[in-house]
Amino acid sequence: MAIPLPPKLEKYFNRLSIKSRFFNKLLSFFFMPFVSKSGLRMNFVEDDYYAILPKRRMNLNWYGTMAGGAILGNSELAAGSYLFMLSKGEYRMICTRLNYRFLLPSIDAIMYKAYVDLEELAEKIKEGGKFNIEMTIKVFRTNKNKATRRIGSGTISFHMWPIGT
């Protein structure tokens, strides 16, 4: 059974993980081991957010392309990380729906680009309380952090609530 952190300490760790890549890796090792093992790396820039899933043995299927489960599982984490960054770590969230359409297989690393209506999100955060938000995610094959070809896209819905409520 996990022991919950006090809200102030949780918010402190959240802000620390947004500001520092080192602490992001360290905290994800303990609190989100799937991110740590899969190698998902996030670029935390508000207007140009993307996440890279490297080609690793853990992420591949038996014939050498990126496994569908790895693509789906990490798409939720990539989109959730973007929301986490935009909410400055003040909210908890859970993915309530993920619709994804596979277009092509990927033999290279994957780049996730997440899109959300920033005005709607800012308005809901300003109001406080619980809310639902929908995002779009596009998935690309990538070579050296440059998107080369879109291999899939989808929509993701999250339910968010403030820490400490």
d(CA 123, CA 136): 18
Q: Which CATH number fits domain 7-162: 2.30.110.10, 3.10.129.10, 1.20.58.220, 3.50.50.60?
A: 3.10.129.10
Question: Structural domain boundaries of the chain?
Answer: 7-162
d(CA 17, CA 14): 5
pLDDT bracket for residue 39 (50, 70, 90): confident
**Residue 81: DSSP 8-state:** H
Q: List the beta strands (DSSP E) in 26-130.
A: 41-43, 50-53, 91-102, 109-115
Q: What is the pTM of this model?
A: 0.85
Question: Of the candidates 120, 115, 103, which has an alpha carbon nearest to the alpha carbon of residue 155?
Answer: 115
Of residues 98 and 165, more confidence is placed in: 98
Indicate whether 44 pLDDT > 90.
no
> What does the pLDDT average to over 62-82?
86
